[in-house]
Structure 1
Amino acid sequence: MTAMATEAAAGEVSDGSEAGSLAFVTVTVGDLRLALPMSSVHAVIRPPTLVRIPLGPPGLEGLAHWHGDAVPVLNLATALGRHGGMADTRETRVVLVGHRGQPVGLRVDAMAGILRIDPCRIDPVTAEDGGLDPIISDGLLRDGPATILKADVLIDRQFGDPGGTDRPATAGRPAGSLGQTTGQSAGAGSAGGTDRPALLVFEVAGQEFALPVERVREVLPAPREVARMARSRAHLLGVMSVRDRLLPLVGLGALFGLEGAGGQMAGRRVVVVRSGQGQAPVGVLVDGVREILRIEAAQIDPVPAFLAREPEFEDLDGIARADGGRRLVSVLSAERLFRHGAALGAATAVGGEGDGMEAARLADTGGMAERFVVFSLAGVEYGLPVAAVREVLRRPDSVTPLPNAPDFVSGVLTLRGEVLPLIDQRRLLHLPAVGGEATQGLARGRIVVVGHDGADAARAGLLVDGLAGLVAIPAERIGPAPAVSAAQRRLIRRVATLEAAGRDAGSAARLILLMDVESLLDMDRLADLLVTRQ
C-alpha cells in the first residue's frame, strides 16, 4: 500500500486530485474491487465499536461514534447481496462517505489504495461485465481494474425512503383503544402520579436504599479505579473524573458498615446526587440500580425514634414500605450525603466553591440538558424522557393475555386499579427473544411505565431487560438519529453520543438511542407501521 493510502486508512481523506484527473479510493469486497470518488469519502478508519440499531435493513451492522456523530455502518458485502463475507481481519476497514448530509460507513474487506485517473480511461458498465448490478455502477477504471460504486444509490436501496411514510400521530384515538385510559382510571392515575413521590431504588450488599428521583442527577458506570485522597475516612473513597471535572465519591457500603460491600468496581454504578445551593454534587457508589418506585407518601415512615438517636441512622430520611409492606427500603437524606462528600469536594475544587463539577452542571429547568431514564435491551441502551416515565417495576411472573392484540403486545397488567398494555420491546424492535422464547423474558428484567396526564391520559408498560439509571445529557450531545427505515424513524428519532466516563475515557463512546413516547403510545399507528414494514 502506498504511503498516501496508509495515511488515508489511518484517518481523514483529503481530495488532492491533480488537474484534469479524477481521484478514487479503491477497496476490496470479496472478489470485487470497487472504487469510490474521493470527493465523497470523509475518512477510512478501522472497524469501530458498534451499537445495534433496530428495525434497520439486513446490511446495517449498527451505529458508530465518529467525531461526535452517530454514524450508521453498512456491511458492503451484505448490501451487495454477497452473503457469508469474511470476518474482520487486520485489513478490514470502514469507509465513511457522505450521504444526504450525513456520514455513512461502508465496511469493506480491505483498502486497496488511491487512484488518480484520466476520465478517458473510464469505460461504461454493461450487463455483460458481471459482478455488480449496472444500476449501482458508474463505470470501470481500466487502471484498477475497479468498478465505480454509486454509493448513494446503494444506500438508498438499503434505507428506502425512511421519511416518506412518516406522518403525525393519529390526532384522535377511540376511547378504550390500547394505551388509552378511560373513565375513572385515567383520573386516578393522573392524581396518583402527583401524590406519589418517585424513588430511585438501588442495592448495596444485598440491601435496598433509595433517593428521591428529583435529587438524582444521573447514574454512571463506576470507573475502573478511584483516586484516593490522603487521610480520608474509609467511606470517602476519593474522586472520579466526569466530563473533565472531579466528582467526590462516597462508598455507601463502607458508610453503613455493610458486609460484602467489596472494593471491586466492575459492574457497579455511581448515583450522582444533585447538589444544594452552592454545593458540588456527590457520587454514591452502589452495587446496582433496581427500579424507579412510586409510592404513597403515607407509606414512607420516619425512622423510629429509638433508632434515630444512633449515628448510623442519621443518614436516613425514612423507611418506605413497598409491596404492601413486604419490602422495606431505606430512604436516604441527600443533604446529609452532601455532608459526607464535603471534605473531598473542597479538596478537589478547581475554581472556587461548588466547582467540583461546574462544567457538567446542567440547568434544572433550562434547555441546556435533558434527563432520561436509560434501560438496556439486547445489549443496547435506550432512553426515555424522565417526565414521561411514571415508574420502573419488576416484571411479574405472568400477565393476562389480550386476544387479537398486535404481536408486540404481551398482554395487560393491572397497576393500582389501572389496566396497562404491556409492550414487549424485543418483539416491537424485532430483536431476538430472551433464551429463544419471548415468554421467558417475563421472568426477568423490568417494566418501564410510560405515559402522560390530561384528558387523553395514556399509559403503557414497556418490557425491557434492565434499568441502567438516570442520565443528564447536554443538549449539544443529542442529535437526530440516522433514518434507516420508516419504523425506526418513527420510534427512535434522536440519539445521544456521550464520551466514556471516568478513567474509561479511552474506551468507546456511549451511544443511547432515544425513543419517542408519543409513538410508543399510539398502538394503532404502531401496528400499521410494523405490518407495512414486514
Structure 2
Amino acid sequence: MVGSSSPADVDRRLVFRVGEQSHEIDARLVLEVVKVPHITRVPHGPEALAGIANLRGKPVPVLSMGKVLNGSHSARRDGKIIVYDHGGAVGLLVDDVLRLSADATAAPPQDLNGLLDAAFKVTRRAPSERTAHGDRGKEVEVSAQLIALLSFRVAGQLYGLPLDDIREVATLTGDIAVIPNAASAVVGLIPMRNSVLPVVSLASLLGLEGAHSAGEGSRIIVVEHGGDLVGVVVDGMDVIRRLPEDAIDTVPVVLQRGRGDAQIEAIGRIADGGLLISILSPEKLFGHHAVTQAIGQNTGAKPMGTTRERQDTFEQFLIFQLGDENYGLPIGSVGEVVRVPNEITRMPGAPAFVMGVINLRGKAIPLIDQRTRFDTPAQAQTAKARAIIVTLGTLQAGFVVDGVSEVKAVSSAALSAAPEFSSDRTDVFDRIAHIETDGRMILLIDPQELLSRAERDIVAAIADDKTAVAGP
C-alpha cells in the first residue's frame, strides 16, 4: 500500500501500467493502492466509470484508466486500484502498479484532472430539488385506505404480518447458539449487528405437522412488538401486499381450535387468483410461550436498539435484483410488490420501456421494464420476477425487476450520498448503503427520479386510457 505523501515525496511519481503503456502520476496525490474489490455497476454512468467500490465502509467511484486514456481498454480483474485525491477519493483502475520513482521514466497522462472532471458533475443539486416534483402527501393518502402486509410461505401455506411491525427480512446463517432445554419452536440466538436476536420457527408455533426445521438459507422476519424483537423463521418471502379493509375477514370459529391457532388474527382475500392469506397478529405471536421463553433467554442484550429513539436512526429499504446487481428503494415509497402476471395488455405505440398494463384491483397500472431502463442485459423472465408498485404524485406504476430478496434496516451511519456523475440518468441514485456484514455497496434509488417528466406524461396517458384494461 502507498500511504499519503511526506516531504520526501515531493518529486516522486507513481508508475502504473495500462495495456502495454506505462504512465505516471504525482505520488503526493496517491492515498493508497489496493487490490480490485467487488465493483458495483452504475447503470447509465459515464463510459469511463467502472462503478462504485467499498473502501473501508466508504463508497469510492472507480474509473477505468483504459477507458479514460484510450477509450477501449478495460483493466483485468487482478489489476490494482490507485486511490487518488481528486477533491475527494477516486479509484483509478489499472492493470498494475509498477514502482514509486523519482525518475521521469513514463509519460504522465495529459490533463489527468480534466479527464477526471469529465466523469463527474461540477455542481450537486440541493436535496430539496430531488423531491420538488413529488406530492408525498398524495402518496400517503393513496396508501392509507389499504392494509399493508408482508406475505411469506410456511409449509406451502401463505401467511402475512403487518408491514409496520416488521423491522427487516434477513437470511438465516449457520451462526446459531442453541438454548438448552428450550421449547421445540425455539431455534436459538443469532448474532445481528453487534448484538443477538432470539429466533423461533413459525412452522412450529403454528403447530404445522411435518414442518421443516429451520435450516441455513431460510428467511428470518424480524418482528418488533412492545420494545422487543424476535426473528421468525419462514420458508421464503412472497411479496408485499396491500388489501382493502373489506377484503379482510375474522377467522371462522371452526379454525379457532388446535394449538396453532393463537397467532392467526384474520383471513385476507386476494383478488388476484382468488387466494387466501392467513394474517398473523404480533400481539398473539409475542404472547406465545415459546416466544416469551426465547426473549427471556436474551435478557441483558437488547438486540439492535429496540427503543423508539434508537429505531429512528434506521431506514428500511426494499432490496431487489436486476441481473447480478442489487438495488434498494425506501420501503415508504413502495405501495406493494406483486408477481408479474402471465397476461399483460400490450400497448401499441408505447415506448420500449413500457411492457404493458395490468389490472390491479380495477385500476390500470403501467409496467416499466427496469432492465431496459437500467441497461441490464436482456434475459427470459423467471418466476421470481416481481413488479414493485410505486406512487409518483398522482401516478402509480409497476417497475418490473428480476427478484425481491429482502427488507433491510440500514443505520444512518451506513448511508452516504452517491457521487454525482456527468450522466443525468444517474440522478436516480441518491445514496449508497454499506452493508457491513458482507461488505456490499447497494445503490439506493430516489423514487421521485424513477421517471423523467416526459416519461411520467407518457405513462400517465397510458394509465388514463380507459380501454387499456377491462375492469373486474
Give SS of 2:67's match: helix
Contact kept? 1:72, 1:104, Cα under 8 Å:
yes
Letter in 1 for 2:216: M
Distance 2:30 2:294 in 1: 48
Q: Which residue of 1 aligns with 2:253?
A: 305
State the Cα distance separating 1:172 from its structure 2 match.
8.0
Contact kept? 1:406, 1:527, Cα under 8 Å:
no
Q: Which residue of 1 aligns with 2:100?
A: 114
Alignment of 1:518-529 (within 5 A): 518-524=448-454
Q: Which residue of 2 aligns with 1:264?
A: 215
2:198 to 228, 244, 248: 248
Contact kept? 2:339, 2:387, Cα under 8 Å:
yes
Q: Which residue of 2 aligns with 1:68?
A: 57
1:157 aligns with 2:118: yes
Distance 2:87 2:186 in 1: 51
Letter in 2 for 1:95: I
1:475 aligns with 2:412: yes
Letter in 2 for 1:152: N
Closer, same or farther: CA 317–526 of 1 in aligned 2, 3 Å: closer
- Greater Cα offset, 79-88 or 324-333: 79-88
Letter in 2 for 1:31: E
Give SS of 1:356's match: coil
Instruction: Please list the CA deviations of residues 136-180 of structure 1 after superposition, one character each: whole Å capped at 9, or x if unmatched.
Output: xxxxx53x345356543222334466869x99579889xxxxxx9
Distance 1:36 1:481 in 2: 26
Closer, same or farther: CA 362–426 of 1 in aligned 2, 3 Å: farther
Closer, same or farther: CA 324–97 of 1 in aligned 2, 3 Å: closer
2:442 to 482, 505, 512: 512
Distance 1:416 1:318 in 2: 20
Q: Runs ≥4 in structure 1, deviation > 4 angstroms?
A: 159-164, 166-173, 189-192, 360-366, 525-528
State the Cα distance separating 1:107 from its structure 2 match.
1.7
Contact kept? 1:399, 1:412, Cα under 8 Å:
yes
Q: CA RMSD in A?
A: 3.2
Contact kept? 1:63, 1:71, Cα under 8 Å:
yes
Closer, same or farther: CA 324–413 of 1 in aligned 2, 3 Å: closer
How many matched pairs? Answer: 453
Q: Which residue of 2 aligns with 1:52?
A: 41
2:370 to 401, 421, 425: 425
Closer, same or farther: CA 377–325 of 1 in aligned 2, 3 Å: closer
Contact kept? 1:362, 1:472, Cα under 8 Å:
no
Q: Which residue of 2 aligns with 1:15?
A: 5
Contact kept? 1:163, 1:489, Cα under 8 Å:
no
1:99 aligns with 2:86: yes
Closer, same or farther: CA 29–511 of 1 in aligned 2, 3 Å: same
Closer, same or farther: CA 192–47 of 1 in aligned 2, 3 Å: closer
Q: Which residue of 1 aligns with 2:436?
A: 499
Alignment of 1:259-298 (within 5 A): 259=210, 261-266=212-217, 268-276=218-226, 279-298=227-246
State the Cα distance separating 1:428 from its structure 2 match.
1.0
Choose 1 or 2 for highest CA Rg.
Answer: 1
Alignment of 1:194-233 (within 5 A): 194-233=144-183
1:350 aligns with 2:290: no
Q: Which residue of 1 aligns with 2:338?
A: 393
Letter in 1 for 2:145: D
- Greater Cα offset, 237-246 or 316-325: 316-325
Distance 2:133 2:436 in 1: 41
Closer, same or farther: CA 257–391 of 1 in aligned 2, 3 Å: same
Distance 1:347 1:167 in 2: 46
Give SS of 1:22's match: coil
Q: TM-score, normalised by structure 1?
A: 0.76
Distance 2:231 2:186 in 1: 10
Closer, same or farther: CA 152–475 of 1 in aligned 2, 3 Å: same
Letter in 2 for 1:222: L
1:485 aligns with 2:426: no
State the Cα distance separating 1:375 from its structure 2 match.
1.8
Give SS of 2:177's match: coil
Contact kept? 1:519, 1:526, Cα under 8 Å:
no
- Greater Cα offset, 252-261 or 327-336: 252-261
- Greater Cα offset, 150-159 or 305-314: 150-159
Letter in 2 for 1:308: Q
Contact kept? 1:378, 1:431, Cα under 8 Å:
yes
Give SS of 1:490's match: helix
Letter in 1 for 2:25: L
Distance 1:49 1:68 in 2: 13
Structure 2 runs not aligned, ≥5 long: 459-472
Closer, same or farther: CA 487–457 of 1 in aligned 2, 3 Å: same
Closer, same or farther: CA 382–526 of 1 in aligned 2, 3 Å: farther
Q: Which residue of 1 aligns with 2:20?
A: 31
1:335 aligns with 2:283: yes
Give SS of 1:518's match: helix
Q: Which residue of 2 aligns with 1:133?
A: none
Contact kept? 1:376, 1:468, Cα under 8 Å:
yes
1:451 aligns with 2:391: yes
Give SS of 1:337's match: helix
Letter in 2 for 1:491: V
Closer, same or farther: CA 85–498 of 1 in aligned 2, 3 Å: closer
Contact kept? 1:64, 1:71, Cα under 8 Å:
yes
Give SS of 1:214's match: helix
